[in-house]
């Protein structure tokens, strides 16, 4: 069973619809009770970093989530801002992140390589997995592209935690991974068959 953490952010319905079409059992969890027993966890998110952390704290699910992910190694994937809060902190706000994958979320404008490119980084971009054996990207090694909508990017403390890169001005980590914790900056739930394949891979990890 895939469990989507519904703490008030992100398109929960889009994930549920995607999995329904694939006949993969999935449900949303709005409380610690509903999160109990999750085998795979999706942590969605849109909007601002601090707002996401506030809502996650207010949801009452954070202590159990940390126990499941950190102590018991349940596979988790953060999506968009749900990925960014895996970091230690963000230039966007003052809140502390979950700190599951060391790094700081930075604004694209802080990189000179961006030049005069518009922000947010909006639209379909190529995603290049760095580890060809990574099962999250099975079948997506060539031609994979996903929908992005963001102005901040994950700056991993350890480059080895980068799982995939995309290029906007310069390459940046658009997917991160450390053990059972993963995150993607793009929106697989809105990326047609590419996104469906990635979500299916996550369900089968």
Partner 1 sequence: MLRPRIIPCLLIHEGGLVKTVGFKDPKYVGDPVNAVKIFNEKESDELAVFDIDATANGVEPDYAVIAHLAAECRMPLCYGGGVSSAAQAKRIIGLGVEKVAISAAAVERPQLIAEIAAEVGRQSVAVVLDVRKKMLGGYELRTRNATRAHRQDPFVFAHEAVVLGAGEIVVNSIDLDGAMRGYDLKLARRMREAIDVPVTFLGGAGSLADIEALVREVGVVGAAAGSLFVFKGAYRAVLINYPAPETKEQMIRAALAA
90: DSSP letter: E
Shortest Cβ distance from residue 124 to partner 1 (Å)? 5
Which tokens in the block code for residue 69? Answer: 């992910």
One of 62, 93, 125, 155 touching partner 1 (CB under 8 A): 125
Q: Which stretch binds partner 1 (CB under 8 A): 12-20, 34-42, 55-63, 154-162?
A: 12-20
**What is the Cα–Cα distance from 85 to 204, expressed in whole angstroms?**
24
Instruction: Report how far residue 103's alpha carbon sits from residue 97's, in angstroms, rounded to the nearest whole number.
Output: 10
Q: Cβ of residue 34: shortest distance to partner 1, in angstroms? A: 19
Tell me the closest approach of the beta carbon of residue 194 to partner 1, in angstroms: 9
Neighbours of 69 (CB within 10 A): 21
Residue 194 structure tokens: 């590419």
Residues 108, 131: Cα–Cα separation, whole Å: 25
Which of 30, 107, 145, 178 is in the footprint of partner 1 by CB under 8 A?
Answer: 145
Give residues in contact with partner 1 (CB under 8 A). 8, 11-14, 17-18, 46-48, 116, 118-126, 145, 147-151, 167-168, 187, 190, 192-193
């Amino acid at each position: 069973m895939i469990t989507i953490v519904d703490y008030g952010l992100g398109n929960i319905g889009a994930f549920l619809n995607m999995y329904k079409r694939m006949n993969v059992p999935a449900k949303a969890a709005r409380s610690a009770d509903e999160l109990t027993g999750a085998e795979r966890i999706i942590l969605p998110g849109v909007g601002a970093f601090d707002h996401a952390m506030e809502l996650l704290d207010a949801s009452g699910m954070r202590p159990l989530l940390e126990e499941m992910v950190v102590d018991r190694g349940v596979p988790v994937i953060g999506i968009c801002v749900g990925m960014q809060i895996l970091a230690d902190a963000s230039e966007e706000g003052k809140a502390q992140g979950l700190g599951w994958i060391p790094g700081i979320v930075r604004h694209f404008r802080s990189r000179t390589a961006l030049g005069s490119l518009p922000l947010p980084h909006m639209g379909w971009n190529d995603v290049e997995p760095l580890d060809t054996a990574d099962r999250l990207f099975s079948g997506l090694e060539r031609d994979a592209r996903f929908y992005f909508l963001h102005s901040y990017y994950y700056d991993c403390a350890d480059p080895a935690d980068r799982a995939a890169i995309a290029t906007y001005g310069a390459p940046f980590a658009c997917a991160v991974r450390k053990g059972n914790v993963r995150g993607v900056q793009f929106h697989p739930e809105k990326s047609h068959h590419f996104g469906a394949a990635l979500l299916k891979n996550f369900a089968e990890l």
